[in-house]
Structure 1
C-alpha cells in the first residue's frame, strides 16, 4: 500500500461508511447470518498503527480474529503474530508465519499447550514463551525447555471498556509486581530472559490513556530494574469507538503518551494491537424474520443470535446497527433480538433504526474483533459463513456450517 493510500484511510470506519448496495448483494448471494471482513481495511489499520510507532515492533494479537485470511493479509505487510494458545500458534504457522517470530503468551497453559510450544521451539529456537506464573517455569523445566522467556508483569492497574477485560489488576494475569526481580534472577539462571510483558486491559480510547499509561510507567520502571533486556512488551488494548458519537483513538497523542510513560529503556519496545486492527474491518449481516408490536416495545426478530455475536450478552457491549435494505426510512426505536431462548439474546434495546420490515437485512457493525472468535453452536445452530472483501472482490473464506458439522464429533 502506498503512503498516499494510508493517508486517505480514515482513523475509524463507521458502519454508515460501508456500501449498502454491496452489503445487500452479499446477503442475497451468501445468505445470513453472514460475517463480512474487509481485508484491505485490516492491513490499513495495521499500517496506520505501525506508522504511529516507527521505533517499535508491532505484532498482531491473534485472539482478536484468527481467521486464516486475516493472518495471511497481516503477514503480507510484515506483521508478526502474538498467540495466546497452541491453536493460535498452529494457525499462524499454517498461514505462513515463521515460528521463530512467534510469541506465545501462556495464561495457565494446559499441558498440551506447553507440550506443543516446547516441541515447536526444538526446531524454532526464536520462539518466545511469555510466562505469568513461576509454576509455568517449573513445568517448562520438566519438559527440558531452557529457551527464550519473557515475564508477564501484573502492574496492579487495570484499564479498558469492562471489568472483565481489565487484566492489569487481575491476579489471574502475570507475576505480582514486587516479585518480578526475584523471578527475573531465576529465569536468567535457568532460561534465556529476553523480555518483560504487560497488558493492562482492552478497549482503551483517548480518555482512558492516563490510567493506561500509569500501568506502562510501572512496566518501564521494572524494565530498568531487571535489565538488560531484548524487548519490553506493553501489550495491546487500544480500542475503537463502538458508539457513533465516540471519537476515534488519537494515535499521535497515544504514541506520545506511551513514549513518555515507558521512559528511557535499553530494549526494543513491543506492542500487540488486536481489536484496533480488525474491529471496524468486520460486520454481521442478519435478516429480519419477525416484527412484534407490544405495549412496551417493538421487537424485531433476526436470524443472528448471541451464538453469532456474544459481546452484547457477555459485556453489555454496544454495536451500531443499520437497516441495509432501506436506510432512508424514518427511524423508529426498536428492540432487536435473536432466536436463542434467553433474555440475553438482544443486540439493541429501544434503538432508533430505519423502520425494519420482514426480510430486511440489518448490519451489525464493529464485529471484526472477538466476533467469530467467540461464536458458538448454542441451540445446535451451525456457525455462519464468512466472506472476505479484497481489492473489490468477495470470496468465501469460511463456509457456513451444517448440522453435520455440529454433530460430527459425537459418538
Structure 2
C-alpha cells in the first residue's frame, strides 16, 4: 500500500505546487520572513502514514514543529505526541492531548524537566515515561516515580540525512541492547510499570537506508523476545525521510512498513512509530524578501531578510532546501546564492541555484520548511524570530513576529537590584 489516494493526496508536495499568488498575498499582509504551515497537508501526510501502518500507534515527534496549530490538527486526526522535553510535554498537554496519548522520551533530562515529568505522571498516570540510561532510571526512582515506563535501547546502528542526526549509532541514546533486560528488571524492582521498548535509527531515513532501519527494529525485537515483562508496545521511532531535492523520490512507505513488520515477527506487542519530519516538512514554506543584490567576480548573491537565525538547517547540517522565486515577470535565469543578514559565512540558504535574475523586493519561497524550521529559530545577532501563519479554512496568524522588546524581555524582567 503506497498511501496515495483521495484522502492522503500525493506522497510528496513539491515547492512548485504552492500557489504563487497566495504566497505573495500572505507576504504582503504579514511581512517577511514568514513561515506558512498548511494544515490540510499535515492531515493528509498523517492519513498516508496511518494507512501504511494501519495497526500502529502514531505519535507525532513534537520537536519537529511544536506550534499549537500543528499539534491540535494532528490530535484531531488521531495522532498522539512524543515529547523530548518538559516544554514539549507542557505544550502537548496544552494542545489537548490526553496523558495516555503522550510519551515523554527525554535524553539526559535536566533535574527540572524530570521533576515536571514525574509530577505530570503522578497527576496523570496514563503518561508513559521513557529512559535511556541507568542513571535516569535511578533518578526517576529517587523522585518516587511508579508509573508507566519504557526503556530506550541503543541498537548500535544508525541512519539519517546527516551523521549529526544518526542517533541509532550514537551512545548518547539508549541502553546497550545486551544490558536492556537487566535494566528493565531494575526498573520493575523500583516499582515501575514496564510497558514498552524504544529505539530510533535517526532522522531523515531514505529508501537506500531501509536495511539499517530493519536492523534497528530487529535489535529491538530481540530484546522484546528476551524480556520476561509483558510489553504493551514496541516503539521503533520515526525518522521517515522526505525528498528535499527535486530529483529525489519519495520514501516507499509500503516497503518501510513491510520490513518493520517482518522484523517484529512473533513479538506480541503493539507497534508504535514516532514520525515528525514526514508529517510536517512539506506542509511548510518560508517566505523571504531580497533586499540586496551583488554581482562579484561572476557570482550573483541575493541577500535576503531570512538567514540562519530563521532557518538554521543549511548552516548546521549542510541541508538542501529548494528555493523558488515568486517574481511574476519573465527574466533570464542565473546561478544565484541566497544568503541572509547574519554576520557569518555559513549564513547561506542555498548556493548556486538556478533562479530568475534577482532584484531588490523579490519574494523567495524556501520549501520543506515545516519541520525544524521555526523550532530551531534563534535570537542570534539579537534578531527577532519570524511570524507563523497557518492555512486551514483561511490564513490565521498563529505566532506573531517578535519585536526588539521581545528579544530583551528576559533581561528587562530579571532585575533583582535597583538600577544605579
> Which TM-score band (shorter chain)?
over 0.9
Question: d(CA) in 1 for partners of 2:329 and 2:379?
Answer: 31
Which stretch shows the higher mean deviation, 207-216 or 110-119? 207-216
Summarize deviations over 1:330-383 as a string: whole Å, max 9, x none. Answer: 321011101100100001111111222110000000010000000001111110
Q: Secondary structure at the match of 2:397?
A: strand
1:173 aligned partner: 173
Question: d(CA) in 2 for partners of 1:331 and 1:26?
Answer: 25
1:138 aligned partner: 138
Summarize deviations over 1:162-191 as a string: whole Å, max 9, x none. Answer: 001000011110001111111111122221
Q: Which runs of 5+ in 2 are unaligned?
A: 416-420
Question: d(CA) in 1 for partners of 2:217 and 2:170?
Answer: 16
CA drift at 1:6: 1.2
Q: Is the 8 A contact 1:326 1:354 kept in 2?
A: no
Question: d(CA) in 2 for partners of 1:260 and 1:100?
Answer: 27
Q: Is the 8 A contact 2:122 2:147 kept in 1?
A: no
Q: Is the 8 A contact 2:61 2:82 kept in 1?
A: yes
CA drift at 1:317: 0.2
Summarize deviations over 1:269-291 as a string: whole Å, max 9, x none. Answer: 10000000000000100000011
Q: Secondary structure at the match of 1:244?
A: coil
1:198 aligned partner: 199
Q: Secondary structure at the match of 1:232?
A: strand
Q: Secondary structure at the match of 2:116?
A: helix
Query: Where in structure 2 are the equivalents of 1:76-95 lying within 5 Å?
Result: 76-95=76-95
Question: d(CA) in 1 for partners of 2:40 and 2:389?
Answer: 13
Which stretch shows the higher mean deviation, 183-192 or 19-28? 183-192
Summarize deviations over 1:285-329 as a string: whole Å, max 9, x none. Answer: 000001100004111100001000000000000000000123753
CA drift at 1:4: 6.1
Query: Where in structure 2 are the equivalents of 1:202-213 lying within 5 Å?
Result: 202-213=203-214
Question: d(CA) in 2 for partners of 1:253 and 1:17?
Answer: 26
Query: Where in structure 2 are the equivalents of 1:9-408 lying within 5 Å?
Result: 9-190=9-190, 191-226=192-227, 227-326=229-328, 328-391=330-393, 393-408=394-409
Q: Is the 8 A contact 1:303 1:338 kept in 2?
A: yes
CA drift at 1:100: 2.9
Q: Is the 8 A contact 2:201 2:212 kept in 1?
A: no
Question: d(CA) in 2 for partners of 1:208 and 1:370?
Answer: 21
Q: Is the 8 A contact 1:24 1:325 kept in 2?
A: no
Question: d(CA) in 2 for partners of 1:327 and 1:44?
Answer: 33
Query: CA separation of 1:332/1:208 partners in 2, compared to 1, >3 Å: closer, same or farther?
Result: same
Q: Secondary structure at the match of 1:5?
A: coil
Question: d(CA) in 2 for partners of 1:327 and 1:141?
Answer: 65
* RMSD, aligned CA: 1.2
CA drift at 1:262: 2.3
- TM-score, scaled to structure 2: 0.95
Question: d(CA) in 2 for partners of 1:271 and 1:92?
Answer: 17
Query: CA separation of 1:182/1:327 partners in 2, compared to 1, >3 Å: closer, same or farther?
Result: farther
Question: d(CA) in 2 for partners of 1:57 and 1:115?
Answer: 27
Question: d(CA) in 1 for partners of 2:111 and 2:76?
Answer: 32
2:6 aligned partner: 5
CA drift at 1:264: 2.0
Q: Is the 8 A contact 2:132 2:151 kept in 1?
A: yes
CA drift at 1:75: 0.7
Query: CA separation of 1:4/1:256 partners in 2, compared to 1, >3 Å: closer, same or farther?
Result: closer
Query: CA separation of 1:328/1:42 partners in 2, compared to 1, >3 Å: closer, same or farther?
Result: farther
Q: Secondary structure at the match of 1:329?
A: coil
Question: d(CA) in 2 for partners of 1:166 and 1:296?
Answer: 38
